[in-house]
Amino acid sequence: MKNSRCKLLVTLIFLILLLSPIAVVGQGEAEVDDKRNKLIGYMLGKQLPSIHYSDKQVDDKLAQAAFDLYLKQLDFQKRFLLAEDADYLSSYATLIDDNLLRGTIVLPPAGYDIMVSRIDQANRLVDMLLVDGLDARGGASMETDPEKIDFAVDEAELTQRWRLILKAEIMNRYLDLEEEYQAEGKSIDQDALWQEASDRVSKRFNDFFNRLNQETLQDHYDRFFNAVARAFDPHTNYMAPDRKEDFDIHMRGSLEGIGALLREEDGFIKVVRIIPGSASAREGRLTAEDIILAVAERDGEPVEITDMRLRDAVRLIRGPKGTEVRLTVRKPDGTKDIIAITRDVVQIEETFVKYAVLEAQDAKFGYIRIPSFYRDFEKSRNGEGRNSTKDTRDAIMELRNQGIEGIILDLRNNGGGSLVDAVDITGLFIDKGPVVQVKNSQGMKRVLQDDDDTLVYDGPLVVLVNRFSASASEIVAAALQDYRRAIVVGGQHTHGKGTVQTIIDLNENIPLLHLRRYDDLGALKATIQKFYRVDGGSTQYKGVVPDVILPSLLQNLKSGEQYLDYSLPWDQDEPVRYDAYADKVGDLQTIIDRSRA
């Protein structure tokens, strides 16, 4: 007890020494809070080893893994850095563990400085090559898999690499244009078409470099923190504040804002689409093709957003429900207008459960698509907020009222989500019983049960999966398969993610109150458990193998847990007692044999 108390005191004293006083480093118009970043790094270095499922420690081995991931994120396609740059940065690799715990994080600034220089060099090189003219009509070949090439040894090799990249881009654009012209019955002038293809490629790369030039030093710190987290496993991530906000929006399927889809184009923020039923739609004056020039709160000064990053502009436009935002916009005819919109909740409809009735051979079947296992965790504490279980239940009830004779549950491309909803949705199709087992690193096991003996639907059931069905969707598919409640249909196997994550708000984990003066620290998504099927098997690596395997365009795709860096190994556990159905899937072997005929 005394030792643990002493350790805590030492840690607190170290944090005080580490973080006082506050230092701020300039980076153009933006600023980096150096002490804030030291605090985040220290918290990752101390907390991850204690909470992560694996027994990994922050040591030289993990530091090298973090560096490799950071370098991949920095220049994955090997279009900017030279071999000498990568060698120079690698000198920091084994220092990462000590840097984190001592508060001397040096790799992100070094990576940032080199990338700024190399991006500028590549930008000028691309401009020169396109201005001089590239003849893309001649044959050429290049390796497009970044894993199979090395960083260029010198500028001459890098120039040749860019020359081939641009030729390939112009050729692809030419073929697209040729197809468009032929479909529209237009005559084709070969020289003019090649020039148009080159012009489009030039514009595309101009936009590309503009986006790269907007990256900040803080972006590099965030990239570095995420690399450290991902060195533990691919589903452990550091989420900077804006990434955490995006994650929350995805999980609950809604946000608070004006309800307009925006994009960045030629330095301007342009409206692409107004979401039906949103605050913008009700106000009526903001329309597609409008360009937003400035943003102001109700009585505040307008902030110019021309040449601003899209995500920064969006941060200004979004805001709490009931507050007013004033947009200065330029209409397509050149006129300007100031539009006041009262923000409201925006429902992201593509997030939610969809259902339909399918008719075939005088029979009616229900089709339910669950894109993700969403849940508004904050509102659910008060019994409010939307969740995928309730929406699926409502869909089943409506389909039953329409006299369907079977249900197709589509979990394709469902990457997972709320574990609670995976268990509860499985429970809609079984009487009651265990759904999945979860086990932590100490071997403590818990069985998650469906305790509600209400069976919402007991008829014929088919579950559709593919290579992109992962995590919670694999729990549902596996449980319904083990219970012999449904026939699972799809490609060779699902993604193969058999781990459970939790979200840790770093702002709530600060031991000293005075340290909470820092801006939002973001959050940590950490793997804390593995899950196992009720029969004891694991979906980790292996995924769920369908009962009926169909040919798939994805079958040769190198996608899945087994291809991810530092993924946790497969293992298995003891089965739990469960009562499989004897009459829900018919003669399954006959069905399988017929599908192969």
DSSP 417: B
C-alpha span between 54 and 42 (Å, rounded)? 19
Taken as a whole, the chain contains a residue count of 597
Residue 230 CB: number of other CB atoms within 10 A?
A: 22
C-alpha span between 345 and 289 (Å, rounded)? 23
Residue 476 in contact with residue 368, Cβ under 8 Å? no
| Residues 544-565 as b or e (16 or more Cβ within 10 Å = b) | bbbbebeeeeeeeeeebbeebe
Joined tokens for residue 5: 């108390």
Catalytic-residue membership of 482? yes
Whole-Å CA distances, 575 to 482, 486, 534, 579: 11, 20, 6, 12
Residue 293 in contact with residue 320, Cβ under 8 Å? no
Query: What string of DSSP letters covers 74-108?
Result: HSTT-SS-BHHHHHHHHTTGGGHHHHHHHT---HH
Q: Report angle CA 179, 180, 186 to the nearest 5 degrees.
A: 105
Q: Is the peptide bond before 21 cis (omega within 30 degrees of 0)?
A: yes
Active-site residue (options: 244, 497, 530, 542):
497
Residue 129 in contact with residue 163, Cβ under 8 Å? yes
Active-site residue (options: 388, 418, 471, 473):
471
Query: How far out from the chain centre does Cα 172 lie?
Result: 28
Q: Report angle CA 528, 570, 466 to the nearest 5 degrees.
A: 95
Joined tokens for residue 313: 């502009």
DSSP 349: G
Report the first-to-last Cα separation within the chain, whole angstroms. 68
Active-site residue (options: 97, 421, 424, 482):
482
Phi, psi at 322, each rounded to 5°: 95, -10
Closest Cα to residue 351, out of 396, 385, 309?
385
Phi, psi at 223, each rounded to 5°: -65, -40
Beta bridge partners of 488: 463
Measured torsion, CA atoms of residues 184, 187, 191, 195, in degrees rounded to the nearest 10: -30
Whole-Å CA distances, 128 to 166, 191, 196: 12, 20, 17
What is the set of active-site residues? 471, 482, 497
